[in-house]
Amino acid sequence: MAENKRDYYEVLGVSRDADDAALKKAYRALAKKYHPDTNQGNAEAEAKFKEASEAYSVLSDPEKRRQYDQFGHSAFDGMGGAGAGGFDFGGDMGDIFGDLFGDLFGGGRGGSRSRTYSGPMKGANLRTSIRITFEEAVFGCEKEIEMTLKDECTHCQGTGAKPGTSPQTCPKCNGRGRVVTTQQTMFGMIRNEQVCPECGGKGTVIKEKCPHCYGSGYTQSKKRIQVSVPAGIDNGQSIRIRGKGELGVNGGERGDLLVEVVVSNHPLFKRQDTSLYSTAPIPFTIAALGGTVRIKTIDGEVEYDIKPGTQTDTKIRLRGKGVPSIRNKSVRGDHFVTLVVQVPERLNEEQKEALRRFEDTMTGEEHKKKRGLFK
Ligand SMILES: [Zn+2]
Ligand SMILES: [Zn+2]
């Protein structure tokens, strides 16, 4: 079968000298695209998924990759369950999945990671989002959110079995949680490993269910959770709250809660990283003569001295009036203000007269030339 197989590098679409990060990136993209969870009943996607997983499992292992580089597919002939599938999913793929998909699929699917491993495992992460105002993102805030969380059933200590009884080893899989079936096909023997249908992969079955949790081993309740939003957080960033995710397995610690922050726009200010941007109108008389104006900043109004002869579109920098760095809130970015010189739309007679008298004083050649254009 080996000669029919596609080259592993070709499968992942990477060059032969691709490093670990490039392999992982390529595999992640393919696995996400063809993952059985998102392509149910699609045999072609399943085949592509297996092909990519196989390629990655070999190339991500330095020893296997060396052998593959030297001998090609024949390096693994007769290994790993062989057959047309040529690849055994029951082995250490769990580690690869745990590593790659821990965040990708939110973990909570009971995916490949826990089926054969029975030690303590950290619970999956939960995700939620909160909307905060522009100012709350700049200065930080405290928020409270409500989440429905599972807790271990205190009645049965999470076993799901009626107190006084205990879960029994599953007779179908002998506690392994997985069953192996072999199938004779025209390509040879295909070995398939599946989650045990009897115990759902747990390895144990409950004869008498706990009446409190109906055998699930957990209860659910709404919890109010405090979220400390740090100053300087930006739209789309997440806050990790340890121990507020899914229950751990077999005494493992709880997963985390990841709270994504959605920041509302501000009517005056735009933000980029720690810089703020806005425009501020200034009267044309102050632009010409100079003087003090009040400019709105995220901290409130500040006074700013305008130089005589300031043009419209002049950009000024208000140091330290930007957004605090999320790593160190005593370090703040700057606020960049674009000055817009405002020409009055209505003038009374006295003002017009004053401007005409001013106009008459403008005798320079440059001025005459410009005026000529508009006469
Ligand atoms: Zn219970
Ligand atoms: Zn079983």
Beta carbons within 8 Å of 23's beta carbon, 6+ residues apart: 12, 14, 56, 59, 60
For residue 254, report the distance from its CA to the centre of ligand 1, in Å: 18
Distance 105 CA to ligand 1 centre (A): 28
Q: Which positions of the chain have pLDDT values less than 70?
A: 1-3, 77-118, 365-368, 370-375
- CA 360/CA 375 separation, integer angstroms: 15
Q: How far is residue 86's CA from residue 50's CA, in Å, rounded to a whole number?
A: 10
Predicted local confidence at residue 283, as pLDDT: 96
Distance CA 306, CA 210 (A): 77
Model confidence, pTM: 0.57
The angle, 0 to 180 degrees and rounded to 10, between the axes of the packed helices 43-59 and 20-34 is 160
The rounded distance, in Å, linking the Cα atoms of 36 and 205 is 27
Taking the centre of ligand 1 as the mean of its atom positions, its distance from the CA of residue 196, in whole angstroms, is 23
Nearest Cα to 205, choosing from 238, 248, 160?
160
What are the contacts of 68-73 at 24+ separation with CB within 8 A?
Answer: 68/8, 69/16, 72/2, 73/2, 73/3, 73/5
Among the bound ligands, name the one nearest to the CA of residue 195: 2
Q: Which residue has the tokens 């709404």?
A: 222
User: Taking the mean position of all CA atoms in its chain, how far away is CA 251?
Assistant: 27
For Cα atoms 295, 326, 320, give the angle at the middle one, nearest 5 degrees: 30
Taking the centre of ligand 2 as the mean of its atom positions, its distance from the CA of residue 118, in whole angstroms, is 13
* pLDDT tens sequence across 305-334: 999 999 999 999 999 999 999 998 889 999
Other C-beta atoms closer than 10 Å to the C-beta of 359 total 10
Nearest ligand to the CA atom of 194: 2
The SS3 call for residue 79 is coil
Position 371 scores a pLDDT of: 66
Which ligand has the nearest atom to the CA of 168?
2
How many residues would you count in the chain? 375
Ligand 2 center to residue 331 CA distance, Å?
A: 57
Distance 79 CA to ligand 2 centre (A): 27
Q: How far is the CA of 262 from the centre of ligand 2 (A)?
A: 44
